[in-house]
């Protein structure tokens, strides 16, 4: 009621001023102009107020009709929601937006573009903010879950892109980003056990082909390295020729042609990196994590240069100065710091031995060989 009175007074005042100006222009002035303006402003006020109320009623009717349609589409009663103040209630806002998003996904999947557009228009009319980029991203995420993008899904993404007004450049950028994140997460799960099985290797190949993305050389190498670990852990070991004299029934399975034997010297230093750690003591564990070779007083210095041979019985270093041989069942554990290219062997007695290969080495394969041979000797 107060609103009607306020609108009525406003319309009367505006009518009074407007009529007064017209009368002045045609030569009617003074008290006569004032009285005539006051009298004529009354019917003008009724007319303008009625027109305003009529427009408000029509707007309210359209709003109620939109609410009714939205309720039917999202299967949620929104008839009593004040959309002007809806977003003050965060929970209510997210609930409605989530329902709208779900319906948009559903229409896109069914390729029902008329209803898709209708829901977008309804959302706009009711003031429901729809993040078009977020909608497009979520649609991509749904489509790539099975590891491939079908022709129908490609057509759907193109249509949604056009309807939402997303540029080709932005669409390609979004697709590349989402697919890269998806494959990275899948690879992270596969790499957790430091091994790639034939089934996992086939799955990775299917992902890259189905989603039309190429892995970088570093990732491809890691896959091959971890696949070689699987082969080493699950297939018969094949001995390799060895230039040194071995014991009876002893065979060589890994060789590093050139490596340094290093020892700690007095200085402050710290070596670290992401590596592999295999512990042997009442059982064997396969572990990956961040490790560090640290000493508050020492620094690694080269003591000797030679070759490393891993046999089914021993870890052997044949240096220029002397030969060091450690029985596999006397190794407590070993750490490989791939980033620094360092191998640390911990024995039952004496300080740990540290070796730095001077030739290219597949550290994953080395770890698998040594781990398997130690396990068979434990």
Please state the three-class secondary structure of 271-328 as a single string. Answer: EEEEEEEEEECCCEEEEEEEEEEEECCEEEEEEEEEEEEEECCEEEEEECCCEEEEEH
Tens digit of pLDDT at every position of the chain (378 positions): 555 555 555 554 555 566 555 656 666 566 555 555 556 556 655 555 556 656 655 555 555 565 566 566 666 665 566 656 655 566 666 777 778 888 888 888 888 888 888 888 887 777 777 788 888 998 899 899 988 888 988 999 999 999 888 999 999 999 999 999 999 999 999 998 888 999 999 999 999 999 988 899 989 988 998 898 888 888 888 899 999 999 999 999 999 999 999 987 766 555 555 455 544 444 444 444 445 555 556 678 899 999 999 999 999 999 999 999 999 999 998 888 877 889 999 988 888 899 999 998 888 888 888 988 998 887
Q: Which residue has the tokens 């979520």?
A: 138
d(CA 255, CA 317): 10
d(CA 235, CA 244): 26
Task: Look at residue 307 in the predicted model and tell me its pLDDT.
Answer: 96
Contact 224, 271 (CB under 8 A): no
Task: Look at residue 138 in the predicted model and tell me its pLDDT.
Answer: 87
Helix, coil or strand: residue 51: helix
Tell whether pTM > 0.75.
no
291 beta partners: 273
> In Å, what is the CA distance from 93 to each residue of 11, 78, 100, 118?
37, 11, 11, 20
Task: Look at residue 8 in the predicted model and tell me its pLDDT.
Answer: 53
CA nearest 365: which of 218, 188, 201, 196? 196
Q: Which residues, in sequence order, are CB contacts of 62 under 8 Å at separation 6+?
A: 125
> In Å, what is the CA distance from 332 to each residue of 252, 286, 291, 344?
21, 14, 17, 11
pLDDT in tens, 89-147: 666 667 777 788 888 888 888 888 888 888 888 877 777 777 888 889 988 998 999 88
Task: Look at residue 168 in the predicted model and tell me its pLDDT.
Answer: 92
């Amino acid at each position: 009621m107060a609103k009607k009175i306020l609108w009525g007074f406003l319309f009367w005042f505006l009518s009074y001023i407007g009529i007064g100006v017209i009368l002045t222009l045609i030569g009617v002035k003074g008290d006569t102009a004032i009285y005539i303006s006051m009298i004529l402003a009354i019917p003008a006020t009724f007319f303008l107020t009625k027109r305003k109320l009529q427009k408000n009623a029509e707007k309210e009717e359209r709003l109620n009709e939109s609410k009714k349609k939205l309720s039917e589409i999202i299967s949620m009663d929104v008839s009593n929601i004040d959309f002007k103040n809806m977003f003050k209630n965060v929970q209510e806002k997210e609930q409605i937006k989530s329902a709208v998003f779900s319906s948009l996904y559903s229409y896109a999947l069914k390729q029902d573009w008329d209803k898709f557009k209708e829901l977008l228009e309804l959302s706009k009319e009711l003031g429901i903010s729809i993040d078009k980029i977020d909608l497009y991203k979520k649609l991509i995420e749904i489509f790539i879950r099975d590891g491939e993008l079908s022709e129908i899904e490609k057509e759907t993404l193109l249509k949604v892109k056009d309807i939402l007004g997303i540029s080709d450049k932005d669409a390609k950028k979004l697709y590349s980003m989402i697919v890269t994140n998806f494959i990275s997460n899948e690879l992270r799960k596969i790499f957790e056990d430091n091994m790639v099985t034939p089934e996992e290797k086939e799955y990775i190949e299917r992902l890259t082909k189905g989603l039309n993305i190429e892995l970088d050389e570093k990732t491809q190498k890691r896959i091959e390295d971890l696949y070689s670990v699987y082969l080493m852990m699950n297939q018969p070991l094949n001995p390799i020729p060895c230039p040194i004299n071995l014991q009876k029934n002893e065979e060589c399975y890994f060789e590093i042609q050139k490596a340094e034997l290093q020892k700690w010297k007095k200085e402050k230093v710290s070596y670290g990196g992401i590596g592999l750690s295999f512990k042997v003591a009442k059982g064997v564990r396969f572990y990956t994590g961040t490790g560090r070779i640290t000493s508050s007083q020492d620094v690694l210095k080269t003591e000797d240069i030679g070759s490393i041979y891993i046999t089914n019985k021993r870890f052997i270093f044949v240096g220029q100065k002397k030969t060091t041989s450690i029985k596999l069942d006397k190794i407590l554990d070993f750490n490989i710091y791939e980033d620094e290219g360092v191998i640390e062997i911990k024995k039952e007695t004496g300080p740990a031995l540290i070796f730095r290969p001077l030739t290219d080495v597949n550290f994953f394969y080395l770890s698998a060989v040594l781990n398997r041979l130690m396990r068979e000797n434990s």
